[in-house]
Amino acid sequence: MALEKGDIDLIFGSGQLAPAEYQALQKTGKYQTMISEPSSTRILSFNTTYGVTQDKNVRLALQHAFDRQTMIDYVLNGLEQEAYTLFAPGFPFSDIKLEHYTYNIEKATQILEEAGWVLESGSTFRTKNGQTLTLVIPYNSGDQVHKTIFEYLQSAWREIGVDVQLIGEEDQLFKMRSKTGQYNIIMNDTWGVPYDPHMYIRTMTGDKQIGYYAQKGLAVSEQLTANIAKVIRSTDEGQRRALYESIFQTIHEEAIFMPLSYRTNYLVANNALANLSFSMQQYEVPLKNFEVK
Q: In the chain, where are the structural domains located?
A: 42-263
Point out the least confidently predicted range of 89-93, 211-215, 223-227, 284-288.
284-288
The proportion of the chain whose per-residue pLDDT surpasses 90, expressed as a percent, equals 73
pLDDT for the residue 131: 97
Domain 42-263 CATH assignment equals 3.10.105.10: yes
Q: What is the pTM of this model?
A: 0.88
Cα distance between residue 111 and residue 64, in whole Å? 10
Query: Strands, DSSP E only, in the chain?
Result: 10-12, 32-35, 40-46, 81-82, 127-128, 131-132, 134-140, 163-169, 185-189, 257-263, 266-269, 273-274, 291-292
Task: Give the SS3 label for residue 88.
Answer: coil
Point out the least confidently predicted range of 99-108, 224-233, 264-273.
264-273
Calculate the average pLDDT of the chain. Answer: 93
Burial of 9-34, coded b for 16+ CB within 10 Å and e otherwise, reads ebbbebbbbbbebbeebbeeeebbbe
Task: Give the SS3 label for residue 134.
Answer: strand
Query: Which one, of 236, 27, 24, lies nearest residue 144 by Cα?
Result: 24
State how far the alpha carbon of 145 is from the alpha carbons of 9, 19, 166, 225, in Å.
22, 8, 14, 32
Question: In sequence order, what are the beta bridge partners of 167?
Answer: 138
Cα distance between residue 71 and residue 253, in whole Å? 24
Mean pLDDT of 243-255: 97
Cα distance between residue 2 and residue 208, in whole Å? 37
pLDDT for the residue 279: 80
H or E segment at 72?
helix 68-74
